[in-house]
Amino acid sequence: MAQQNEREMTWGGSTSADANDFVNVLRRRGIVREPEHRAVQGPVPETQGTTILAFKFADGVLVAGDRRATMGNIVMYDRTEKVFEVDRHSVMAIAGSFGAAWETARTLQHSFQFYRRSQLQEMSLEGKVRALAKLLRDNLGMVLQGVGVVVPLFATYDIASPDPAKVFFYDAMGAHFDATDFAASGSGGPAVRSTLYYENAWGPTPLRQLDQKGAITIALRALDTAAEADTATGGVDRLGKIFPIIKILNQDGITTVPQDELAALFQGATHDK
């Protein structure tokens, strides 16, 4: 028994299990030390995109986004795309992390395409809305780490519905809401919402009664107004002739408004003041 106890005891009172682990023995003796793990200083720098808007007008839905991308206080790029065509009748506009947003848009495109080809029909409106919500919920782990936040807008024209023009806005956790008339997101969102509310409630023509030219003019004014208060919003670059991306959804599909048409409408609106 004494010999067994002696075999079980090693340096410093360790058991034979500890003694067999040579690294543990060296660690106890102070010969091997644990490496120091340094905490990451500050958040991971991300390229961010703002500002986006969508509203219903007489001929369908207008979706727009400014062109600026920022990283902190640095302007990374002034010709970015923030409005993506997901399928023939759906558009997603992004605000937040570009990396996560682009991946979300691509995944959504593939999901809709796979469903259409496998089921030989379009995904339902409820299915589209929930598909985007699920992608945002799946990204929640990154959001909790302070990176990869995406706060999109989703617009679609559902021909089968009595009210075909649809606009949905989301939060970072995937909660979604059906906008009655308009929605905006991004750092310039509050200024855009204020502008659209004023035009809808007090302007000469409510948003839903605007023709296409009137709707485009209001969108340009809203983004240009947001750019005055928010440095992350590009607005309208008069010197560089850079205008927002604007897409129109109606029963004919999706149309991207040409830049020369945007320039002419903006100049006309400026001269009318």
Whose CA is closest to 135, among 110, 165, 157, 164? 110
185: three-class secondary structure by DSSP: strand
The residues that are catalytic are: 50
Assess whether pLDDT exceeds 80 at residue 40.
no
Per the model's pLDDT, the better-predicted residue between 34 and 10 turns out to be: 34
Which carries the bigger pLDDT value, residue 10 or residue 31? Answer: 31
Please tell me the pTM assigned to this model: 0.81
CATH topology of domain 50-271: Glutamine Phosphoribosylpyrophosphate, subunit 1, domain 1 (3.60.20)
Model confidence band, residue 265 (pLDDT cutoffs 50, 70, 90): very high
Give me the pLDDT at residue 7, please: 46
Write out pLDDT tens, residues 103-147.
999 999 999 999 999 999 999 999 999 999 999 999 988 888 888
**CATH 3.60.20.10 segments of the chain:** 50-271
57-66 burial, b at 16+ Cβ within 10 Å, e below that, comes to bbbbbbbbbb
Could you tell me which residue, 45 or 161, shows the higher pLDDT? 161
More confident site: 168 or 15:
168
